[in-house]
Structure 1
Amino acid sequence: MKIFCSKDALLSGVNAVQRAVSNKNPLPVLQGILIQADNQSLQFAATDLEMGIRCDVPAQVTEEGTMIVPAKLFTEVVRKLPDTTITLEEKDQQITIGYYQSEIILHGYDPEEFPLLPDLIEPLSFELPTMIFKNMIKQTIFSCAAEENRPVFNGILLQIEGTNIRLVATDTHRLAYIISEITNSGESRFSGIIPSKTLSEIYRLLRDEDEVLNISYSSNQVVFQFGSIYLISRLIEGQFPNYKQVIPQTCETKVYLSVREFLDAVERASLLSRDKSGANIIRINVENNELRIDQSSELGKISEQIGIEMEGKDVRIAFNAKFLIDALKVIDSDRILFELSGPFSPGVMRPLDNPNYIYLVLPVRTS
């Protein structure tokens, strides 16, 4: 195998696939990136057996072939190469990287041992604008659980029903829900839990110029295709909780307030809210068209007042400050409706100009 290509092309290839390289799998070949040269292009591929990514970049191919390079080392080498035409040559699992009158030789892996990324057999598929999906990921993914003891909470529920696409994420303490319209000529239906790692990669790789995202799916896998990227991922097995039962249909108190004012106040109060146990709890008091946060700790104290419009009962309630901040940072609207029903019921945020987004957060019981 022998090819000529630019440093930028190599870099875009390794950057696209490197997050799919396995760091835990004992199979050495999975710590590599497969590079295949044919038809005047290079195809990069990597997988950890849960997720796989392929990417094509332009190259001048003088001899077709396949090689597997050590991912971490190859990526570091490529980043430090000069901006000139690079030669890649492989012979007997030895990879020679040539530039100017210099060369670097790396030891590769046997391509025969690399598991090929499958193409789905007779998949169902649909398309939607990439910016819509990217925004949907941004507004939900932070609500996934970080711990891996209950896998269904490490993913996001993706549902297709007619012309609606829905993402739902929860870690059992909070829940983010968003729905958008798509063109779904086949009226196909789908419901699957996609690992948060997969969707964070989609978010990272989607670019503004990638206008259309194609999503294909089978019973246990899903494929995302956009630009030169092909990403396949397993679906998480298990039953996602019935989120419709969790979202309150009524409330006792409606609070209309500015997202920016609320976010700034919560962030300031959170600086003084950390107690000895590491908790980051803020106490909110809503009365007389005013939202007040009074916070004190061994670090000091703060009193924040925000002018609001309210309907219904006065309420005192406490929340984990981080759970409020995470949501307020991704809500694109200027104002929200914050629905409350006493100190022990969940709070629900709804952007005033977007009825398709809901964020639910459980309160913290305080003494």
Structure 2
Amino acid sequence: MKIFCSKDALLSAVNAVQKAVSSKNTLPILQGILIKAEQQSLQFAATDLEMGIRCEVPAQVIEEGIMVVPAKLFSEVVRKLPDTTITLEERDKAITICYNQSEIILNGYDPEEFPLLPDLLDPISFTLTTTVFKNMIRQTVFACAVEENRPVFNGSLLQIESSSIRLVATDTHRLAYSIAEIPNPEELNFSGIIPSKTLSEIYRLLRDEDEILTINFSNNQVVFKFGSIYLVSRLIEGQFPNFKQVIPQTCETKVNLSVRSFLEAVERASLLSRDKSGANIIRINVEENELRIDQTSEFGKISEQINVELEGKSVMIAFNAKFLIDALKVINSEQIIFELSGPFSPGVMRPLDDPNYLYLVLPVRTS
């Protein structure tokens, strides 16, 4: 195998696939990146057997071939290369990297041992714009559970029904829900739980300009294709909870307030709300078109007031400050309606001008 390639092309391919390289697996081959040269392109691939990423970049291929390079070392070498044409040559599993009048030789792995990324047979297929899906991920993935004792909460439920696509994430203390319209002329349906790691990786790889994203599904795998990227992931097995049952259909109190004012007030109050146990609880009092946060701790005291529009009953309620901040940071609207029903019922945030998003958060019981 022998190819000529720019440093930028090598770097973009390495950056695209490196998060799929296994960090925990004991199989040495999974700590490598597969590089395949054919026609006039280089195909890079990496997998940890849970997620795999493939990426293609242009190259001048003199001699077709395939090799597996040590991912960590190869990516560090590529970053340090000068901005010039790079030659890659493979002989007997050793990779020679030539630039200017210099060369580096790396020992590689046997390509025969590398697990191939699957192409799905007879998949269900949908398309939507990348900017829409990127925003849906941004507004939901943070609500996935981090602890791994219940795997269904370590991912987001992706549902497609008629012309709607929705992402739902919950860690049992809060729930984030986003929905969008997609073309679905054949009225195909799908429901599967996608690992949060996969969604975070897609978010990182998606660019901010509109491209077409194709999503393919089989029974236990999902594939995302956009630009030169092919990302395959297993689906999480198990039953996602019935999220529709936990979203209140009525409320006793509606508070219309500024996202920015509320976010800044909660962030300031949270600085004084951390106690010795690590809890970060703030107490909110809403009455007569005013939302007040009064916080006293061993660090000091803070009193925040925000003008709001109140409809319904006054209420006093406590929340984990982080759970409020996480949601307020991803809401695109300037105003929200915060729906409350007393100190022990969940609060629901809805952007005033966006019916396609909601965030539910459970209150904290305080003495």
**Is TM more than 0.5 here?**
yes
1:162-173 aligned at under 5 Å gives the runs 162-173=162-173
CA-atom RMSD in angstroms: 0.6
Once the two structures are superposed, what CA deviation does each residue of 1:69-91 show, in whole Å capped at 9, x if it has no partner? 00011000000000000000111
Q: Which secondary structure does the structure 1 equivalent of 2:279 belong to?
A: coil
The one-letter code sitting in structure 2 at the alignment partner of 1:323 is F
Residue 262 of structure 2: aligned partner? 262
Distance 2:256 2:321 in 1: 19
1:223-242 aligned at under 5 Å gives the runs 223-242=223-242
Residue 182 of structure 1: aligned partner? 182
Residue 157 of structure 2: aligned partner? 157
Residue 211 of structure 2: aligned partner? 211
Q: Which secondary structure does the structure 2 equivalent of 1:119 belong to?
A: coil
Residue 341 of structure 2: aligned partner? 341
By how many angstroms is 1:211 displaced?
A: 1.2
By how many angstroms is 1:356 displaced?
A: 1.1
Once the two structures are superposed, what CA deviation does each residue of 1:149-182 show, in whole Å capped at 9, x if it has no partner? 1100000000000000000000000000011101
- Contact 2:255–2:339 (Cα < 8 Å) also in 1: yes
Residue 72 of structure 1: aligned partner? 72
Residue 197 of structure 1: aligned partner? 197
Once the two structures are superposed, what CA deviation does each residue of 1:123-142 show, in whole Å capped at 9, x if it has no partner? 01010011000000000000
Distance 1:304 1:273 in 2: 13
Find out whether 1:136 has 2:146 as its counterpart. Answer: no
Find out whether 1:360 has 2:360 as its counterpart. Answer: yes
TM-score (norm 2): 0.99
Find out whether 1:27 has 2:34 as its counterpart. Answer: no
By how many angstroms is 1:208 displaced?
A: 2.7
Distance 2:149 2:5 in 1: 45
The one-letter code sitting in structure 1 at the alignment partner of 2:221 is Q
Find out whether 1:147 has 2:117 as its counterpart. Answer: no
1:10-159 aligned at under 5 Å gives the runs 10-159=10-159
Q: Which secondary structure does the structure 2 equivalent of 1:330 belong to?
A: coil
Residue 284 of structure 1: aligned partner? 284
Distance 2:277 2:216 in 1: 46
Relative distance call for 1:209 and 1:254 in structure 2 (3 A) is: closer
Distance 1:71 1:121 in 2: 29
Q: Which secondary structure does the structure 2 equivalent of 1:89 belong to?
A: strand
Distance 1:318 1:98 in 2: 62
- Contact 2:285–2:317 (Cα < 8 Å) also in 1: yes
TM-score (norm 1): 0.99
Note the residue ranges of structure 1 that are not aligned, 5 or more in a row. none
- Contact 1:210–1:226 (Cα < 8 Å) also in 2: no
The one-letter code sitting in structure 1 at the alignment partner of 2:271 is L
Once the two structures are superposed, what CA deviation does each residue of 1:62-107 show, in whole Å capped at 9, x if it has no partner? 0100000000110000000000000001111111110001001111
Structure 1 runs of 4+ off > 3 angstroms?
A: none
- Contact 2:167–2:178 (Cα < 8 Å) also in 1: yes
By how many angstroms is 1:206 displaced?
A: 0.6
Residue 245 of structure 2: aligned partner? 245
By how many angstroms is 1:210 displaced?
A: 5.0
Q: Which secondary structure does the structure 1 equivalent of 2:9 belong to?
A: helix
- Contact 1:210–1:227 (Cα < 8 Å) also in 2: no
Distance 2:40 2:355 in 1: 48
Q: Which secondary structure does the structure 1 equivalent of 2:86 belong to?
A: strand
- Contact 2:131–2:209 (Cα < 8 Å) also in 1: no
Instruction: Give me the identity figure in percent.
Output: 82
The one-letter code sitting in structure 1 at the alignment partner of 2:55 is C
By how many angstroms is 1:350 displaced?
A: 0.3
Distance 1:28 1:82 in 2: 29
Note the residue ranges of structure 2 that are not aligned, 5 or more in a row. none
Residue 9 of structure 1: aligned partner? 9
- Contact 1:94–1:108 (Cα < 8 Å) also in 2: yes
Find out whether 1:300 has 2:306 as its counterpart. Answer: no
Aligned pair count reads 367
Residue 321 of structure 2: aligned partner? 321
Q: Which secondary structure does the structure 1 equivalent of 2:329 belong to?
A: helix
By how many angstroms is 1:147 displaced?
A: 0.7
Q: Which secondary structure does the structure 2 equivalent of 1:52 belong to?
A: strand
Distance 2:23 2:355 in 1: 41
- Contact 1:274–1:281 (Cα < 8 Å) also in 2: yes
